[in-house]
């Protein structure tokens, strides 16, 4: 996972983050929200494809986004590029079944900060998001 880390302060550690979940599967969106075990992360929005995610993000630019890749209307890679244009410091964790290295590299080059492969367990999700947040501190 590619995350830039910097020295943290006590203020950073207590910082709270808002989050949007983007996945075309309702059960995956619900699984991510249910298994999220990080007190300082609050899910405030969800989207079923990249187009809806961009619209939602434009109205409500959250701090953290989990992003699927294979979705109708607008895929996750295109969506990541648009979200980063709107808010360059947004933290994006791509969560996808596409498990080849080239896809992970493309996601990171597009502006994502981490990549988690499906299927994932609750602790793998927590670990990936914790690492993402460490990069923001």
Partner 1 sequence: MSDAELATFVEGTTRYFETIGHQPASVGSPYLVDNGKPTVHEFTGMINIAGKRRGVVYFTASRSMLTVLLMRMGETELTEENMADLVGEVANTISGNARRDYGTDFMISVPQVTTGHADQVVLPDGARSIVIPINWRSHAAHLVVCLE
Select 41 or 136, whichever has its Cβ closest to partner 1: 41
Beta strands in 36-113 (DSSP E): 41-47, 64-67, 91-96
| CB count in 10 Å sphere of residue 37 | 12
- The distance of closest approach from Cβ of residue 121 to partner 1 in the complex, given in angstroms and rounded to an integer, is 6
Which is nearer to partner 1, 19 or 98 (by Cβ)?
Answer: 98
CB of 101 to partner 1, least distance (A): 8
In the bound complex, what is the minimum distance in angstroms from residue 15's beta carbon to partner 1?
28
- Nearest Cα to Cα of residue 18 among 54, 56, 55, 62: 62
Token readout for 19 is 């989050």
Residue 57 or 120: the one with the smaller Cβ distance to partner 1 is 120
Phi and psi based region of residue 73 (left: phi greater than 0; alpha: psi -120 to 50; beta: remaining):
left
Nearer to partner 1, 88 or 119 (CB): 119
Query: What is the smallest separation between the CB atom of 37 and partner 1, expressed in angstroms?
Result: 12
Residues at the interface with partner 1 (CB under 8 A): 24-28, 30-31, 34-35, 70-72, 96-100, 102-103, 117-121
Residue 132, CA distances (Å) to 39, 51, 74, 100 in order: 14, 24, 24, 21
């Amino acid at each position: 996972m590619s995350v830039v880390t910097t020295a943290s302060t006590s203020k950073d550690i207590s910082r709270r983050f808002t989050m949007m979940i983007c996945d075309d599967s309702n059960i995956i969106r619900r699984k991510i929200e249910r298994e999220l075990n990080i007190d300082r992360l609050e899910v405030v929005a969800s989207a079923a494809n990249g187009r809806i995610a961009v619209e939602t993000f434009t109205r409500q630019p959250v701090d953290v986004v989990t992003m699927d890749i294979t979705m109708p209307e607008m895929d996750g890679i295109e969506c990541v590029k648009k979200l980063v244009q709107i808010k360059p410091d947004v933290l994006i964790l791509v969560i996808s079944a596409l498990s080849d290295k080239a896809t992970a590299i493309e996601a990171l080059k597009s502006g994502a900060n981490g990549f988690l492969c499906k299927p994932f367990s609750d602790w793998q999700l927590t670990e990936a998001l914790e690492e993402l947040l460490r990069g923001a501190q």
